[in-house]
């Protein structure tokens, strides 16, 4: 999820939001001001309802941020860097800079989010009772009560046992602890996530068909759960198949390399006849990786244009090419490669040091033996 706005850093974690967070805030404000609050606290002006609705929308975004921050703080304490937190339409996402070191750490990181939502929910509930006792306006009491209940719902929903929900992460930590194998535990939690995705989507449909708009939301969430779970399951299977093999072990020397300044004609003339590759690396004038070109797209350039078209104009730019460093795991690269024919291996200064083709990875997956399951004791 792309960050459209950056708010700054908290605990060294970059906090930002995607524009779609606005959709969430507006939907919450709309639903509260037109349906929920008029029912809970009747007899107020439209302005009052909309003001309360907008404040609650913003506070919901704040609640999501606190939920994600709770994950992050526990992760940072466990020695795991957290790159960023992005809030968006369907909630928040924390990008961790690695894997928890143990099942226990994974459990704590996962449980921190729902616990904070539950805490917020209880605090808001107590706050609403106190405000009511002090004789605060009904609109404020109802809004506070609603905020509390939504946070409790958020905690409970997130605890559903399937990846990528927190409940799935907790399930994975438990499976990891019991089997000693984080990747097989991930496959189990991802499988549960795929089932959960189907169930949530189906519930959403049922709700939508019964005339409730919120059903659409649930359908989106269900589809997201299913999709993410499927890709996480693929990644975990890849890790099981490829184990600890590093990119340096499988990368090939970059053979034929295209230069940004070459014309398509010049490059095509230099390819070894009879030994064409599906794609070639491209470097810039300083020898740094600049992207890739696919042979079929070069051949597709009309003959009359080939002498005047530069490789720089037709290459796939570096930001769209799967990249790896020699010490990276092949399994992680394989997940990033998807449909790409070629991945580039660079040093930290972007100097091209090797290439990995999809064909090589596919061969490796077919031929590689399964990694033996290591028994890791649960840390005391």
**Residues designated catalytic:** 68
Tell me which residues in 77-116 interact with Zn ion (CB under 5 A).
Answer: 113
Nearer to Zn ion, 112 or 343 (CB): 112
> Applying CB under 5 A, what is the total number of residues that bind Zn ion?
2
The answer on whether 296 is annotated among ligand-binding residues is no
Tell me which residues in 110-139 interact with Zn ion (CB under 5 A).
Answer: 113
Least distance (Å) between residue 284 CB and Zn ion: 41
Q: Bridge partners of 14?
A: 9, 84
Least distance (Å) between residue 226 CB and Zn ion: 18
Tell me which residues in 191-210 interact with Zn ion (CB under 5 A).
Answer: none
Q: Which residue is nearest to Zn ion (CB)?
A: 113
Least distance (Å) between residue 87 CB and Zn ion: 12
Least distance (Å) between residue 68 CB and Zn ion: 7
Nearer to Zn ion, 3 or 325 (CB): 3
Identify the burial level of 307 via C-beta atoms within 10 angstroms of its C-beta, where 0-12 means exposed, 13-18 middle and 19 or more buried: exposed
Question: How many beta carbons lie within 10 A of that of residue 21, not counting itself?
Answer: 24
Nearer to Zn ion, 166 or 186 (CB): 166
294 binds Zn ion (CB under 5 A): no
DSSP 158-204: HTSSSTTSHHHHHHHHHHHHHHS-HHHHHHHHHHHHHHHHHHHHHHH
Which long-range contacts does 362-368 make (Cβ < 8 Å, 24+ apart)?
364/242, 364/245, 364/250, 364/330, 365/238, 365/241, 365/242, 365/334, 368/241, 368/242, 368/243, 368/245
Tell me which residues in 149-188 interact with Zn ion (CB under 5 A).
Answer: 166
Identify the burial level of 342 via C-beta atoms within 10 angstroms of its C-beta, where 0-12 means exposed, 13-18 middle and 19 or more buried: buried
Nearer to Zn ion, 49 or 107 (CB): 107
What does the chain come to in residues? 380
The answer on whether 340 is annotated among ligand-binding residues is no
Q: Which residues in this chain contact Zn ion in the complex, by CB under 5 A?
A: 113, 166
Annotated binding site for Zn(2+): 67, 71, 166
């Amino acid at each position: 999820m792309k960050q459209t706005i950056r708010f700054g850093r908290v605990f060294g974690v970059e906090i930002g939001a995607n524009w779609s967070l606005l959709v969430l805030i507006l939907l919450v404000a709309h639903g509260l001001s037109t349906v929920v609050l008029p029912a809970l606290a009747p007899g107020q002006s439209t302005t009052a309802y909309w003001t309360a609705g907008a404040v609650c929308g913003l506070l919901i975004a704040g609640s999501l941020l606190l939920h994600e921050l709770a994950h992050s703080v526990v992760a940072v304490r466990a020695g795991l860097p957290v790159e960023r937190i992005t809030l968006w339409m369907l909630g928040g996402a924390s990008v961790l800079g690695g894997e928890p070191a143990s099942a226990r750490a994974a459990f704590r990181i996962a449980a921190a989010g729902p616990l904070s939502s539950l805490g917020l929910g209880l605090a808001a509930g107590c706050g609403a009772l106190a405000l009511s006792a002090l004789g605060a306006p009904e609109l404020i009491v109802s809004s506070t009560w609603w905020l509390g209940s939504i946070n409790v719902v958020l905690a409970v929903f997130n605890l559903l046992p399937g990846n990528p929900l927190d409940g799935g992460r907790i399930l994975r930590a438990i499976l990891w602890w019991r089997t000693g194998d984080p990747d097989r535990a991930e496959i189990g939690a991802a499988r549960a996530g795929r089932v959960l995705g189907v169930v949530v989507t189906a519930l959403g449909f049922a709700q939508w068909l019964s005339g409730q708009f919120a059903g659409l939301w649930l359908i989106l969430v269900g589809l997201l759960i299913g999709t993410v779970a499927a890709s996480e399951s693929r990644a975990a299977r890849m890790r099981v198949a490829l184990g600890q093999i590093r990119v340096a072990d499988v990368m090939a020397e970059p053979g034929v390399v295209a230069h940004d300044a070459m014309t398509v004609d010049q490059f095509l003339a230099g390819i070894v006849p009879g030994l064409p590759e599906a794609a070639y690396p491209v470097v810039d004038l300083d020898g740094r990786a600049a992207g890739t070109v696919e042979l079929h797209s070069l051949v597709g350039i009309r003959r009359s244009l080939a002498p005047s078209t530069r490789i720089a104009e037709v290459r796939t730019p570096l930001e769209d090419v799967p990249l790896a460093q020699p010490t990276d795991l092949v399994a992680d690269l394989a997940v990033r490669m998807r449909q790409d024919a070629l991945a580039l291996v660079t040093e930290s200064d972007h100097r091209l040091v090797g290439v990995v083709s999809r064909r090589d990875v596919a061969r490796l997956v077919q031929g590689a033996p399964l990694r033996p399951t290591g028994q890791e004791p649960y840390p005391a």
